[in-house]
Amino acid sequence: MVEALAGAIEIWRTGRAEAADYDALVDRARRRFAGLVGVPPERVAIGNQVSTFTGLVAAALPDGAHVLAAEEDFTSVLFPFLAHADRGVRVETMPLDRLVNAIRPGVNLVAVSAVQSADGRLVPGGLDGLASAAARYGCLTYVDATQAVGWLPFEADRFDFVSCAAYKWLVSPRGSAFGVVRPERLETLRPLYAGWYAGADPWTSIYGPPLRLARESRRLDISPAWLSWVGTVYALDLLAEVGIASIHRHDLGLANALRERLGLPRGDSAIVTVATEGGMERLRAAEVKASVRAGAVRLSFHLHNTESDVDAVARALGA
């Protein structure tokens, strides 16, 4: 992926890049992502970040809509809904572990991350439980799969709307993202960011009216940051070649190996959080890349990690 991106940058630097040549890469990335989440490619839109897809869903809600969300969630899932308070959109937040049981009549949409960014927690009761509870009460679902797709098996067709930034577990350059929409929900979304790339034929949609958008989810496309998509398509090729089931076993195995070394209970997430005084400083000294989220050290294990990384973290944290 890095070599492909470096080659593309060299082509760009020497003035040999052709805009239309990137279309095949974007199309291949769209198809690869569709395969990873189990939907047809025509249900996938491309964009640049999660909040733009969240914003489309938020704008489609009727005045006075009732949205249910997790209070700990990433703000790209929350802010676009909260921004519609002037229309009477009410966002009810609560702890993640109470979210699914709170779905009830009168809730128009439940919005949640499949895996929490701060601490790696999965939706309690599983995503199937979330989808079933929402269907029981006629509630729409919006799922941010950024921290899930790439290591956790994920079926996008269980939900009305899905977003996924590619720079996390899809190991892509920042600037590429995907959205998935159920066919029966597509007409509810106004293509607020429609530009030439959302046209039925982008290269004949670059000047003048009338509005002539693609019929499928591509009508929601945002003009791609070309170089980001060069890296994205090769990263998705690699993930598809290895297989999400294999990556899931690998990532979860390493995460649980670290939990065992640290005296923590086994978990269901590839993200491990550790509340330890001075832990981040010790990890930096050991040249271990980690982060601090919600007051704890957060470590994420993916297909490029090995048992030696578990050993390095455990030693740095005194286990």
Asked whether residue 1 carries a pLDDT value surpassing 80, the answer given is: no
Alpha-carbon span 117 to 144, nearest angstrom: 10
Query: For the chain, what is the mean pLDDT?
Result: 95
Mean pLDDT throughout 34-44?
98
CATH of domain 2-241: 3.40.640.10
Helix (H) or strand (E) holding 44: strand 44-47
Q: In this predicted model, what pLDDT tens digit does every residue of 70-91 receive, in sequence order?
A: 999 999 999 999 999 999 999 9
164 - beta bridge partners?
A: 178
Q: In this predicted model, what pLDDT tens digit does every residue of 107-139 receive, in sequence order?
A: 999 999 999 999 999 999 899 999 999 999 999
Architecture, CATH, for domain 244-316: Alpha-Beta Complex (3.90)
Tell how strand 291-293 and strand 296-300 pair up. Answer: antiparallel
Interior angle at CA 227, CA 301 and CA 231, nearest 5:
30
Phi, psi (degrees; rounded to nearest 5) at 89 = -70, 125
107 touches 141 (CB < 8 A): no
Phi-psi region of 295 (alpha: psi -120 to 50; beta: other; left: phi over 0): left
List the one residue out of 146, 168, 165, 150 whose CA is nearest residue 49. Answer: 165
Asked whether residue 200 carries a pLDDT value surpassing 80, the answer given is: yes
> With DSSP H G I counted as helix, E B as strand and the rest as coil, what are the percentages for the chain, rounded to 5?
45, 15, 40
Q: Side by side, which strands form the sheet with 90-94?
A: 44-47, 177-181, 161-165, 140-144, 109-113, 66-70, 90-94
Percent of the chain with pLDDT over 70: 100
66 - beta bridge partners?
A: 90
pLDDT at 319: 67
Of how many residues is the chain composed?
319
List the one residue out of 16, 9, 40, 28 whose CA is nearest residue 216. Answer: 40
Q: In this predicted model, what pLDDT tens digit does every residue of 259-318 receive, in sequence order?
A: 999 999 999 999 999 988 888 899 999 899 889 888 889 999 999 999 999 999 999 998
**Residue ranges of domains in the chain:** 2-241, 244-316
